[in-house]
Protein backbone atom coordinates (compact mmCIF):
# COMPACT_ATOMS: atom_id res chain seq x y z
CA UNK A 1 0.00 0.00 0.00
CA UNK A 2 1.36 3.42 -0.95
CA UNK A 3 1.92 6.19 1.58
CA UNK A 4 -0.80 8.29 -0.06
CA UNK A 5 -3.51 5.65 0.31
CA UNK A 6 -2.33 4.79 3.83
CA UNK A 7 -2.60 8.47 4.75
CA UNK A 8 -6.16 8.75 3.43
CA UNK A 9 -7.27 5.50 5.08
CA UNK A 10 -5.77 6.69 8.37
CA UNK A 11 -7.87 9.85 8.21
CA UNK A 12 -11.02 7.84 7.53
CA UNK A 13 -10.32 5.12 10.11
CA UNK A 14 -11.79 6.57 13.29
CA UNK A 15 -11.04 5.09 16.70
CA UNK A 16 -14.15 3.86 18.59
CA UNK A 17 -13.92 5.00 22.21
CA UNK A 18 -17.48 4.44 23.42
CA UNK A 19 -21.02 3.77 22.31
CA UNK A 20 -21.55 5.89 19.16
CA UNK A 21 -18.44 7.90 20.03
CA UNK A 22 -15.32 8.06 17.85
CA UNK A 23 -12.00 9.90 17.81
CA UNK A 24 -10.25 11.25 14.73
CA UNK A 25 -7.08 13.21 14.03
CA UNK A 26 -5.80 15.66 11.43
CA UNK A 27 -3.05 14.77 8.93
CA UNK A 28 -1.24 18.12 8.95
CA UNK A 29 -0.79 19.79 12.35
CA UNK A 30 0.95 22.73 10.64
CA UNK A 31 -2.33 24.04 9.14
CA UNK A 32 -4.06 26.95 10.80
CA UNK A 33 -7.39 25.06 10.93
CA UNK A 34 -8.95 21.69 10.16
CA UNK A 35 -9.90 21.20 6.50
CA UNK A 36 -13.71 21.19 6.11
CA UNK A 37 -13.64 18.16 3.82
CA UNK A 38 -11.92 16.20 6.57
CA UNK A 39 -14.67 17.05 9.06
CA UNK A 40 -17.53 15.97 6.80
CA UNK A 41 -15.70 12.82 5.67
CA UNK A 42 -14.92 11.74 9.22
CA UNK A 43 -18.48 12.54 10.29
CA UNK A 44 -19.72 10.38 7.41
CA UNK A 45 -17.51 7.50 8.60
CA UNK A 46 -18.77 7.87 12.18
CA UNK A 47 -22.42 7.88 11.08
CA UNK A 48 -21.89 4.89 8.76
CA UNK A 49 -20.48 2.86 11.64
CA UNK A 50 -23.89 3.01 13.35
CA UNK A 51 -25.99 1.87 10.34
CA UNK A 52 -26.20 -1.56 8.72
CA UNK A 53 -27.13 -2.50 5.14
CA UNK A 54 -27.96 1.09 4.15
CA UNK A 55 -25.94 3.58 2.13
CA UNK A 56 -25.69 7.31 2.70
CA UNK A 57 -27.61 9.38 0.16
CA UNK A 58 -27.19 12.86 1.66
CA UNK A 59 -25.28 14.92 4.20
CA UNK A 60 -25.79 18.43 5.51
CA UNK A 61 -22.99 20.04 7.51
CA UNK A 62 -22.74 23.33 9.35
CA UNK A 63 -19.27 24.53 10.33
CA UNK A 64 -19.68 26.19 13.72
CA UNK A 65 -16.12 27.33 14.38
CA UNK A 66 -12.61 26.55 13.11
CA UNK A 67 -11.06 23.29 14.26
CA UNK A 68 -7.56 23.04 15.70
CA UNK A 69 -5.46 20.48 13.74
CA UNK A 70 -3.26 19.92 16.81
CA UNK A 71 -6.18 18.58 18.87
CA UNK A 72 -8.06 15.26 18.45
CA UNK A 73 -11.65 15.52 17.19
CA UNK A 74 -14.44 13.58 18.92
CA UNK A 75 -17.47 12.55 16.87
CA UNK A 76 -20.66 11.80 18.80
CA UNK A 77 -23.41 10.09 16.77
CA UNK A 78 -27.10 10.36 17.68
CA UNK A 79 -29.66 8.07 16.04
CA UNK A 80 -32.63 10.23 15.05
CA UNK A 81 -34.55 7.75 12.88
CA UNK A 82 -34.54 4.11 11.82
CA UNK A 83 -37.60 3.49 9.66
CA UNK A 84 -38.31 0.78 7.12
CA UNK A 85 -36.44 2.60 4.36
CA UNK A 86 -34.42 5.43 5.93
CA UNK A 87 -32.03 6.07 8.81
CA UNK A 88 -30.96 9.53 9.99
CA UNK A 89 -27.95 10.33 12.11
CA UNK A 90 -26.75 13.56 13.69
CA UNK A 91 -23.00 13.79 14.19
CA UNK A 92 -21.46 16.41 16.46
CA UNK A 93 -17.74 17.08 16.10
CA UNK A 94 -16.17 18.37 19.33
CA UNK A 95 -12.83 19.78 20.45
CA UNK A 96 -12.09 20.92 24.00
CA UNK A 97 -15.77 20.27 24.83
CA UNK A 98 -16.85 22.77 22.16
CA UNK A 99 -18.84 21.95 19.04
CA UNK A 100 -16.94 22.77 15.84
CA UNK A 101 -19.20 21.08 13.27
CA UNK A 102 -22.67 19.55 13.13
CA UNK A 103 -23.54 17.04 10.38
CA UNK A 104 -26.80 15.30 9.48
CA UNK A 105 -26.45 12.14 7.38
CA UNK A 106 -29.38 10.25 5.84
CA UNK A 107 -29.18 6.59 4.75
CA UNK A 108 -31.49 4.64 2.42
CA UNK A 109 -32.06 0.95 1.78
CA UNK A 110 -32.40 1.52 -1.99
CA UNK A 111 -35.54 0.75 -3.96
CA UNK A 112 -37.07 0.63 -7.43
CA UNK A 113 -38.14 4.08 -8.63
CA UNK A 114 -41.03 5.12 -10.84
CA UNK A 115 -38.99 8.14 -11.96
CA UNK A 116 -35.54 8.41 -13.46
CA UNK A 117 -33.77 11.44 -14.94
CA UNK A 118 -30.63 13.53 -14.50
CA UNK A 119 -28.89 16.62 -15.80
CA UNK A 120 -26.86 16.08 -18.94
CA UNK A 121 -23.11 15.93 -18.58
CA UNK A 122 -21.55 18.93 -20.36
CA UNK A 123 -19.04 18.48 -23.13
CA UNK A 124 -15.47 18.50 -21.87
CA UNK A 125 -12.15 17.12 -23.10
CA UNK A 126 -11.28 13.81 -21.42
CA UNK A 127 -8.70 13.80 -18.62
CA UNK A 128 -6.12 12.30 -20.97
CA UNK A 129 -6.12 15.61 -22.87
CA UNK A 130 -5.53 17.81 -19.81
CA UNK A 131 -2.62 15.98 -18.20
CA UNK A 132 0.00 17.68 -16.07
CA UNK A 133 2.42 17.43 -18.99
CA UNK A 134 -0.10 19.18 -21.26
CA UNK A 135 -0.69 21.95 -18.74
CA UNK A 136 3.04 22.41 -18.20
CA UNK A 137 3.40 23.24 -21.93
CA UNK A 138 0.81 26.02 -21.66
CA UNK A 139 2.49 29.38 -22.48
CA UNK A 140 1.39 30.84 -19.15
CA UNK A 141 2.26 27.89 -16.92
CA UNK A 142 5.42 29.45 -15.48
CA UNK A 143 3.46 32.61 -14.68
CA UNK A 144 1.17 30.74 -12.31
CA UNK A 145 1.43 31.49 -8.60
CA UNK A 146 3.67 28.95 -6.91
CA UNK A 147 0.79 27.50 -4.85
CA UNK A 148 -1.14 26.79 -8.06
CA UNK A 149 1.79 25.51 -10.11
CA UNK A 150 2.69 23.11 -7.32
CA UNK A 151 -0.54 21.17 -7.90
CA UNK A 152 -0.13 20.78 -11.65
CA UNK A 153 3.56 20.15 -12.16
CA UNK A 154 4.44 16.89 -13.95
CA UNK A 155 5.57 14.17 -11.53
CA UNK A 156 3.94 16.02 -8.66
CA UNK A 157 4.96 14.24 -5.44
CA UNK A 158 2.24 12.51 -3.48
CA UNK A 159 3.70 13.76 -0.20
CA UNK A 160 1.51 16.86 0.01
CA UNK A 161 -0.51 18.20 2.95
CA UNK A 162 -3.64 16.62 1.49
CA UNK A 163 -4.14 12.94 0.67
CA UNK A 164 -3.61 12.07 -3.01
CA UNK A 165 -6.33 14.11 -4.71
CA UNK A 166 -5.55 14.51 -8.41
CA UNK A 167 -7.01 17.51 -10.24
CA UNK A 168 -7.00 18.33 -13.95
CA UNK A 169 -8.56 21.69 -14.83
CA UNK A 170 -10.34 22.05 -18.16
CA UNK A 171 -10.21 25.86 -18.01
CA UNK A 172 -6.89 27.46 -17.20
CA UNK A 173 -7.44 31.20 -17.57
CA UNK A 174 -8.58 32.09 -14.07
CA UNK A 175 -5.28 30.77 -12.68
CA UNK A 176 -3.60 33.47 -14.79
CA UNK A 177 -5.92 36.26 -13.70
CA UNK A 178 -8.32 36.02 -16.66
CA UNK A 179 -11.98 36.59 -15.90
CA UNK A 180 -13.98 33.68 -17.27
CA UNK A 181 -17.10 34.56 -19.23
CA UNK A 182 -18.78 31.19 -18.72
CA UNK A 183 -20.53 30.71 -15.40
CA UNK A 184 -19.11 27.19 -15.10
CA UNK A 185 -15.68 25.74 -14.55
CA UNK A 186 -14.78 22.08 -15.02
CA UNK A 187 -12.25 19.88 -13.27
CA UNK A 188 -11.49 16.22 -13.60
CA UNK A 189 -10.95 14.88 -10.09
CA UNK A 190 -10.15 11.56 -8.46
CA UNK A 191 -8.32 9.95 -5.59
CA UNK A 192 -5.01 9.40 -7.32
CA UNK A 193 -4.40 5.89 -6.03
CA UNK A 194 -6.52 2.74 -5.84
CA UNK A 195 -8.81 2.42 -2.82
CA UNK A 196 -10.27 -0.78 -1.34
CA UNK A 197 -13.56 -1.83 -2.95
CA UNK A 198 -15.85 -0.51 -0.22
CA UNK A 199 -18.80 1.67 -1.31
CA UNK A 200 -19.05 3.47 2.04
CA UNK A 201 -15.33 4.27 1.91
CA UNK A 202 -15.65 5.72 -1.60
CA UNK A 203 -18.56 7.92 -0.47
CA UNK A 204 -16.48 9.27 2.43
CA UNK A 205 -13.46 9.81 0.16
CA UNK A 206 -15.56 11.77 -2.35
CA UNK A 207 -17.05 13.84 0.48
CA UNK A 208 -13.49 14.71 1.46
CA UNK A 209 -12.44 15.63 -2.07
CA UNK A 210 -15.64 17.57 -2.86
CA UNK A 211 -14.56 20.47 -0.65
CA UNK A 212 -11.24 20.94 -2.45
CA UNK A 213 -11.26 24.08 -4.68
CA UNK A 214 -15.09 24.18 -4.79
CA UNK A 215 -14.98 27.91 -4.06
CA UNK A 216 -13.11 28.49 -7.32
CA UNK A 217 -16.61 28.53 -8.82
CA UNK A 218 -17.21 31.82 -6.98
CA UNK A 219 -13.83 33.36 -7.79
CA UNK A 220 -13.22 32.26 -11.39
CA UNK A 221 -15.32 35.01 -12.96
CA UNK A 222 -13.01 37.50 -11.21
CA UNK A 223 -9.83 35.78 -12.40
CA UNK A 224 -8.98 34.45 -8.96
CA UNK A 225 -8.55 31.07 -7.25
CA UNK A 226 -8.55 29.67 -3.73
CA UNK A 227 -5.20 27.99 -4.43
CA UNK A 228 -3.57 31.41 -4.34
CA UNK A 229 -4.86 32.66 -1.03
CA UNK A 230 -2.55 35.64 -0.52
CA UNK A 231 -5.35 38.17 -0.99
CA UNK A 232 -8.48 36.09 -0.40
CA UNK A 233 -9.85 34.95 2.93
CA UNK A 234 -12.34 32.10 2.51
CA UNK A 235 -14.06 29.98 5.15
CA UNK A 236 -16.79 27.41 4.51
CA UNK A 237 -20.01 28.08 6.41
CA UNK A 238 -21.89 24.93 5.40
CA UNK A 239 -21.67 22.01 2.99
CA UNK A 240 -24.38 19.76 1.57
CA UNK A 241 -24.02 16.72 -0.64
CA UNK A 242 -26.38 14.23 -2.30
CA UNK A 243 -25.27 10.87 -3.68
CA UNK A 244 -27.32 9.69 -6.66
CA UNK A 245 -25.64 6.74 -8.38
CA UNK A 246 -22.77 4.29 -7.72
CA UNK A 247 -19.21 5.46 -8.38
CA UNK A 248 -15.59 4.87 -7.47
CA UNK A 249 -13.75 7.86 -6.03
CA UNK A 250 -10.49 6.59 -7.55
CA UNK A 251 -11.95 6.81 -11.09
CA UNK A 252 -12.00 10.12 -12.97
CA UNK A 253 -15.10 12.23 -12.25
CA UNK A 254 -15.96 15.49 -14.03
CA UNK A 255 -16.59 18.14 -11.37
CA UNK A 256 -18.78 20.89 -12.89
CA UNK A 257 -18.88 23.98 -10.66
CA UNK A 258 -20.89 27.18 -10.81
CA UNK A 259 -21.83 30.06 -8.55
CA UNK A 260 -25.35 31.52 -8.78
CA UNK A 261 -24.74 34.27 -6.22
CA UNK A 262 -22.16 36.24 -4.25
CA UNK A 263 -23.05 39.11 -1.93
CA UNK A 264 -22.54 40.50 1.60
CA UNK A 265 -19.18 38.79 1.97
CA UNK A 266 -20.60 35.35 1.10
CA UNK A 267 -20.47 33.20 -2.01
CA UNK A 268 -22.55 30.19 -3.02
CA UNK A 269 -21.00 27.36 -5.03
CA UNK A 270 -22.81 24.42 -6.63
CA UNK A 271 -21.15 21.33 -8.01
CA UNK A 272 -22.18 18.30 -10.08
CA UNK A 273 -20.02 15.18 -10.33
CA UNK A 274 -20.31 12.94 -13.40
CA UNK A 275 -18.80 9.57 -14.23
CA UNK A 276 -17.04 9.32 -17.55
CA UNK A 277 -20.07 7.49 -18.99
CA UNK A 278 -22.20 10.60 -18.28
CA UNK A 279 -23.97 9.36 -15.14
CA UNK A 280 -24.57 12.06 -12.51
CA UNK A 281 -23.26 10.53 -9.27
CA UNK A 282 -23.39 13.43 -6.79
CA UNK A 283 -24.45 17.04 -6.28
CA UNK A 284 -22.73 19.50 -3.92
CA UNK A 285 -23.67 22.89 -2.47
CA UNK A 286 -21.59 25.14 -0.25
CA UNK A 287 -21.77 28.69 1.05
CA UNK A 288 -18.65 30.38 2.31
CA UNK A 289 -17.53 33.64 3.81
CA UNK A 290 -15.25 35.23 1.19
CA UNK A 291 -13.42 38.43 1.97
CA UNK A 292 -10.54 40.33 0.43
CA UNK A 293 -7.53 40.59 2.66
CA UNK A 294 -6.93 44.23 3.56
Active site residues: 211, 236, 286
d(CA 39, CA 11): 10
- Which residues 6+ apart lie within 8 Å of 94 measured at CB? 73, 74, 75, 76, 100
What is the CB neighbour count within 10 angstroms for residue 129? 11
Within 13 Å, how many C-alpha atoms sit on residue 255's CB side? 30
Is 105 in contact with 44 (CB distance < 8 Å)?
yes
How far is it, in rounded angstroms, from Cα 150 to Cα 47? 35
Give CA–CA dist 143/155, Å, rounded. 19
Distance between CA atoms of residues 107 and 52, nearest Å: 10
Residue 233 near residue 256, CB atoms below 8 Å = no
Which residues are CB-neighbours of 195 under 8 A, at least 6 positions away?
5, 8, 9, 201, 202, 205, 248, 249, 250
**φ and ψ of 107, to 5 deg:** -120, 150
Asked whether 119 and 104 are in contact (CB, 8 A), the reply is no
Which distant-in-sequence residues (6+ apart) come within 8 Å of 82 by Cβ? none
CA-CA distances (angstroms) from residue 289 to 87, 207, 215?
32, 20, 10
Identify the DSSP state of 143. G
Amino acid sequence: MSKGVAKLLAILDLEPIGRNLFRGSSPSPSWDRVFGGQLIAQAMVAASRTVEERMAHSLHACFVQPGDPMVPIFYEVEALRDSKSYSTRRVTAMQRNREICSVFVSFHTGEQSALGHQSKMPDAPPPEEVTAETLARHPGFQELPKAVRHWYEPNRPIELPHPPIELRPVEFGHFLGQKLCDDRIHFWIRIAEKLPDDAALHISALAYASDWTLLDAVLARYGRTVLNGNNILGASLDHAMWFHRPFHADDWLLYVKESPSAQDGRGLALGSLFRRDGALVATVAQEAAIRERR
